[in-house]
Amino acid sequence: MSAPDLPIALLDSGVGGLTVLHEFLVSLPSENYLYLGDSAYFPYGTKSQAELRGRVAGNLGYLIERGAKLLVLACNSAATAALEPARELAEAAGIGLVAVIEPEAEIAATISASGRIGVLATPATVRGGGYRRALNAQGRGLTVTEVAAPDLAPIIEQGFPFSDDVVETVRGYVAPLRDAAIDTLILGCTHYPLVAPMLQRMLGRDVRLVTAGHAIAAAAQRRLEADGTLIGDGPEGTYSFICSGDPDRFRELGTRFLQLPLGAVEQVATIPT
């Protein structure tokens, strides 16, 4: 393959990053994609930063060996724990890397009228402080309310339909955000867009929800343009999937997240760390 024809490679802890891939497929339809869901190690959001750094390094190294023109950290917990070493790994391989968090923070700071921004995320993401640092870097004197939601990603990963118990769990996470009178909420986990309608109902229609997909796809497009490897107008590209867990389970749940057929899913039993 020539450099432009190489895939954009996305890494996530499971199927949540498929909400990001969906935006890529819409925004950059002529590109080719390779998606790795580390589902055997899900959830990333409850792991330590040291564990995540090793896991992310192993997974990205594997994707580099497979061949990629751009790496995408589509997992907020991974981006919080391992962004700098991931960038160093990509730079050593001579390819670019984009990640969630910074693009979302830029959008949230731009659209918030009151400056009161909420972040709903996994414990690892909140503990790592990536969103708070990115929002503070915007220079607006923002008031940031972070809520750790340890159960939410696993609940979503388990599938649908959602029960009344799930609604009450989500309502408990939303309460401090409502109390803080936020006008913008960053969904700090790629699983969370699947419950966006529920969150919007609880928060009210005036609260703006910021998700990773559009922001990171735009950042990826800018990077590919700068590198001269962006595929312009043309036929639809390809997409393929690798997971470290059960491929049948990944395909079943992933179809709901991507809203497109996944086809065959390759299983990789061991990814070096």
DSSP codes joined into one string, 221-258: HHHHHHHT----S-S---EEEEESS-HHHHHHHHHHHH
Q: What's the pLDDT tens digit per position in 204-263?
A: 999 999 998 888 999 999 999 999 999 978 899 999 999 999 999 999 889 888 888 999
Least Cα distance to 259 among 13, 9, 22 occurs for 22
Taking CB atoms within 8 Å and a gap of at least 24, the contacts of 52-58 are 52/77, 52/78, 52/81, 52/82, 52/124, 53/81, 53/82, 53/85, 54/273, 55/271, 55/273, 56/11, 56/81, 56/82, 56/85, 56/86, 57/82, 57/85, 57/86, 57/89, 57/273, 58/271, 58/272, 58/273
CATH of domain 3-99+213-267: 3.40.50.1860
Q: Nearest 5°: phi and psi at 179? A: -60, -30
pTM of the entire predicted model:
0.86
Q: What is the three-class DSSP state of 21? A: helix
Residues with Cβ < 8 Å from 21, sequence gap 6 or more? Answer: 10, 33, 35, 74, 239, 258
Cβ neighbour number for residue 161 with a 10 Å cutoff: 5
Residues 66-110 pLDDT 10s: 999 999 999 888 898 899 999 999 999 999 999 988 889 999 999
Q: Of 57-61, 182-186, 190-194, which gets the smallest average pLDDT?
A: 190-194
Residues annotated catalytic, as ranges: 75, 189
Give domain 102-211's CATH number out of 3.30.70.380, 3.40.50.1860, 3.40.50.2300, 3.40.1390.10.
3.40.50.1860
Residue intervals of the chain classified under CATH 3.40.50.1860 are 3-99+213-267, 102-211
The rounded distance, in Å, linking the Cα atoms of 142 and 112 is 9
